[in-house]
Structure 1
Amino acid sequence: MGTKGETLSARKAAVLRAVVEGYISTTQPVGSSHVSEIADLGVSTATVRNEMLALEQAGYLSQPHTSAGRIPTEKGYRHFVDTLTDVSGTLGRTERQQVRAFFDTTHSELEQMLADTSALLADLTAYAALVVAPQHSTATIRSVSLVDLSERLVMALVVYENGSVDKRTIEVDRPADSVEMARASTQLTDLLAGSPASALRDRELAHALTPLATRVLDSLADLSDAEEQLYVGGAASVAGLFDATETVRSVLGILEKQLVVVSLVRDILDRGLTVAIGSETGVAPLAECSLIVAPYEVAGQPVGSIGVLGPTRMNYPQALAAVAVVSQNLGHRLSAP
């Protein structure tokens, strides 16, 4: 889930885990007596206190006030996340059934399904949820069909293997009969099926096409340039996740910048991470946030990504489990014929 840090003794790791879990659940600094109660280490409170002091000196914990309680630092959260093992059990049976039922019953077009998926993930985690649509330029074309709208208007439907559909209304020079329309549809499908959307701008392909098919291909050329679409669910919940109004405003401002968020998600995945904590995002307004991301696959190939954005004190095991289950189910749904 990230780069492994230095190795902690089993006792220090248990103390750190107890502080992280205590702070996640209470949002209050965690004291040595609380750690002694939940960590079951078989040592005195004084020994636990010494271990917490050592963890603070090593940069894993900080003491926000002069009280005995401590909270995790980014380094502490990173160690906690990197030493998580199986998180699948942290998503309840009811939530898993909710995910399965959603994908079993949704029959929306891709865009609506992805928007609904972001709402589902936000509901499961109580954090802001992100779904990045399949990248257009690499989406594989399944078919092209033409529909006669009026004498001079034709609608072209480009259907992709990932389930998305592009619609383009095209003005033609003269009316086309049903035979001409069918021939153009067949030519375009034969030419483009199995090719990425970038083939729509390949003029070398057009030399043997009918005039109608050529006109349609010319009109579709810019489809491969479309930016990746971002769907954000649960943005309204952000207000309740942070104490400072300024932080809420900053986070909401970032969520409105589609290009920034899509680039951030891609960058995190490119760095081999599934979790970016605080400054690891590289985006200053998200310094108090963590972002969990995962790709979803169609036919074994990553086509898009999903994630959740919340405070650094987020419930990492539950959020990781929710992202994993939703990404797997979304991929299976899109892979279905």
Structure 2
Amino acid sequence: MIEDRKLAVLRAIVEDYVATQEPVGSKTLVERHRLGVSPATVRNDMAWLEDEGLIAQPHTSAGRIPTDKGYRFFVDRLTSLKPMSAAEKRAIATFLEGAHDLDDVVQRSVRLLAQLTQQVAIVQYPTLARSTVRHVELVALSTSRLLAVLILSTGRVEQRVIEVPVELTDDLIGDLRSRVNKTAAGARISDAAAALGDLPDDVAPDNRSTYSIVVAALVEAISDHRSDERVVVGGTANLARFGESFDQSIKPMLEALEEHVVLLKLLGEATSPSEVTVRIGHEGPIDELASTSVVVTGYGSSDEALASLGIVGPTRMDYPGSMAAVRAVARYVSTILDEG
């Protein structure tokens, strides 16, 4: 266990190093922070922190900088996140509420996260498998062609043009629409697909072929997972601002961030929207990004996350501020999806 005074010294070193990018000495700590102890005591505490691998001396006669272990210790003992200001909250709400569809929500979220944190932002599209059917609309395009519009709880919209072997009438379309929505609306997509598959058995034999064709198209749309792993990235140029913070060339990092599978690994499994996960340095899954930290949370229209969003930046980042920004954007996106 680390005593409160040593934790205060570690916290001060992290905060100063994040702010200045300069190694922190004992004299600086005493001058800037009200630690309530003598410089000699601070030096002893710093020596203990260094022995524990929480801080390191980059070169002789220099101050100390936090190690990955030190950042982890700091993050794990955060008692609160930096609150978003009223102006920031209004800006987030206004920016995101202006979105007119799911693609716009995702694109705006990426830009907003990158601007708020000055890091690389990553947003995963909502996962289809975890969504529910919100509504199915059927519109006649001609006497034998039907447009089916499937609207999911994630805000995703799937469309299919369906050719039917009979003449479409208002009564037939109305009955189709009523039966399909009664069967599928509100159900998880796996349950909706199964229930729709049984629907043709409940109609008159003369209409069974038409209902089977429409249901087959809807089940195909529901089961289409091609966009389940779509990921959008923004703010990669922000990494260049922190070039001196990395242990290696920035090029491999940028190349890694262009790989789709890398982005999915960084986001990991979507977690609860109420939890923010931080992976620091070598804790991450990608060697090329071992000099970075990842802050991720889930978002969704319920307690279960539909997908993840987060940021990637140098280990020398403002963790309380970054975590608060990631959490705030995720909550606003969740609210938009829930109200959509």
Residue 268 of structure 1 contacts residue 281 of structure 1 at CA under 8 Å; is this kept in 2?
A: no
What per-residue deviation string (whole Å, max 9, x for no partner) do you get for residues 282-332 of structure 1? 221221111111222314432222211111111101111111211222222
Q: How does 1:260-299 map to 2 (within 5 A)?
A: 260-267=262-269, 269=271, 274-299=277-302
What per-residue deviation string (whole Å, max 9, x for no partner) do you get for residues 205-258 of structure 1? 543364333223323434433323322222232222333696433333333333
Call closer, same or farther: CA 1:85–1:159 in 2, change over 3 Å: same
Does the residue aligned with 1:308 lie in a helix, a strand or coil? strand
List structure 1 runs of 4+ shifted beyond 6 angstroms.
none
What per-residue deviation string (whole Å, max 9, x for no partner) do you get for residues 20-46 of structure 1? 111111112112221122222233323
Q: Which residue of 2 aligns with 1:308?
A: 311
Question: Relative to structure 2, which stretch is displaced further, 296-305 or 51-60?
Answer: 296-305
Q: Distance in 1 between matches of 2:137 and 2:292?
A: 45
- What is the TM-score with the length of structure 2 in the denominator? 0.86
Q: Distance in 2 between matches of 1:246 and 1:201?
A: 49
Q: Distance in 2 between matches of 1:331 and 1:116?
A: 14
Call closer, same or farther: CA 1:310–1:268 in 2, change over 3 Å: farther
Q: Distance in 2 between matches of 1:162 and 1:241?
A: 35
Residue 187 of structure 1 contacts residue 213 of structure 1 at CA under 8 Å; is this kept in 2?
A: no
Q: Which residue of 2 aligns with 1:130?
A: 122
Aligned residues: CA RMSD = 2.5
Call closer, same or farther: CA 1:217–1:268 in 2, change over 3 Å: closer
TM superposition shift of 1:268 = 7.7
Residue 265 of structure 2 contacts residue 285 of structure 2 at CA under 8 Å; is this kept in 1?
A: no
Call closer, same or farther: CA 1:273–1:98 in 2, change over 3 Å: closer
Q: 1:185 aligns with which of 173, 177, 186?
A: 177
- Tell me the percent identity: 35
Call closer, same or farther: CA 1:143–1:87 in 2, change over 3 Å: same
Q: Is 1:253 aligned to residue 269 of structure 2?
A: no
Call closer, same or farther: CA 1:253–1:178 in 2, change over 3 Å: farther
Q: Distance in 2 between matches of 1:187 and 1:81?
A: 52
Q: Which residue of 1 aligns with 2:63?
A: 69
Name structure 2 gaps, 5 residues minimum.
none
Call closer, same or farther: CA 1:200–1:256 in 2, change over 3 Å: farther
Q: How does 1:41-80 map to 2 (within 5 A)?
A: 41-80=35-74
Q: Distance in 1 between matches of 2:179 and 2:62?
A: 75
What per-residue deviation string (whole Å, max 9, x for no partner) do you get for residues 35-61 of structure 1? 122222233323322221221111101
Residue 276 of structure 2 contacts residue 323 of structure 2 at CA under 8 Å; is this kept in 1?
A: no
Call closer, same or farther: CA 1:164–1:51 in 2, change over 3 Å: same
* Counterpart residue type for residue 215 of structure 2: L
Q: Distance in 2 between matches of 1:255 and 1:204?
A: 44
Q: Is 1:218 aligned to residue 210 of structure 2?
A: no
Residue 126 of structure 2 contacts residue 154 of structure 2 at CA under 8 Å; is this kept in 1?
A: yes
Q: Distance in 2 between matches of 1:252 and 1:173?
A: 53
Residue 270 of structure 2 contacts residue 307 of structure 2 at CA under 8 Å; is this kept in 1?
A: no
Q: Which residue of 1 aligns with 2:332?
A: 329
Q: Which residue of 1 aligns with 2:104?
A: 112
Q: How does 1:145-224 map to 2 (within 5 A)?
A: 145-150=137-142, 153-173=145-165, 176-199=168-191, 201-202=193-194, 203-208=197-202, 210-222=208-220, 223-224=222-223
- What is the TM-score with the length of structure 1 in the denominator? 0.87
Residue 113 of structure 2 contacts residue 121 of structure 2 at CA under 8 Å; is this kept in 1?
A: yes
TM superposition shift of 1:69 = 1.4
Q: Distance in 2 between matches of 1:251 and 1:198?
A: 38
Residue 105 of structure 2 contacts residue 333 of structure 2 at CA under 8 Å; is this kept in 1?
A: no
Does the residue aligned with 2:80 lie in a helix, a strand or coil? coil
Q: Distance in 2 between matches of 1:288 and 1:162?
A: 34
Call closer, same or farther: CA 1:248–1:204 in 2, change over 3 Å: farther
The number of residue pairs the alignment matches comes to: 328
Residue 271 of structure 2 contacts residue 308 of structure 2 at CA under 8 Å; is this kept in 1?
A: no
What per-residue deviation string (whole Å, max 9, x for no partner) do you get for residues 254-288 of structure 1? 33333432344234849x86111111122212211
Q: Which residue of 2 aligns with 1:101?
A: 94
TM superposition shift of 1:149 = 3.3
* Counterpart residue type for residue 314 of structure 1: M
